[in-house]
Amino acid sequence: MNHDPSKHAGTAASQDVLERLADVIEQRRQGDPDKSYVARLFHKGTDAILKKVGEEATETVMAAKDGDPQKIVYEVADLWFHSMLALARFGLRPADVLAELSRREGLSGLEEFAARKAREREQAERPRHQDPQED
């Protein structure tokens, strides 16, 4: 296993890899489902893509429970790939996720959770606008 510190996730090179992969996904999603795995999943629809994300998440957990670093990296790569398919399905890119991670950088996980809960409470307490046609 190569643990080269120059290849950590926050580097420009890593971001480039994610963007190039997102470009490939965009190119292949409209392709022939008989010739492209990506096209096949997009052809099957959102539920098929999300099912694969769930399967890969489960396989990642199982690899982590086994404690084999090589298996963990392999399964996380599958999870990231299928998560990128889900992002593409909803018109999102890796940069959107990286921006959210940057926004959270330096925040305590507990602070982030508390802020999210406060936003949810505020939204729940706002009076809902009732459509006059619903009366």
Give tens-digit pLDDT for 77-124. Answer: 999 999 999 999 999 999 999 999 898 888 777 777 787 788 888 888
Helix, strand, coil share (%) of the chain residues, nearest 5: 75, 0, 25
Give CA 32 to chain center in angstroms. 24
Q: Give, to the nearest 10 degrees, the angle between helix 69-89 and helix 12-28.
A: 50
Range with lowest mean pLDDT among 22-26, 92-96, 131-135: 131-135
The rounded distance, in Å, linking the Cα atoms of 49 and 87 is 10
The rounded distance, in Å, linking the Cα atoms of 38 and 82 is 9
pTM of the predicted model as reported, rounded to 2 decimal places:
0.73
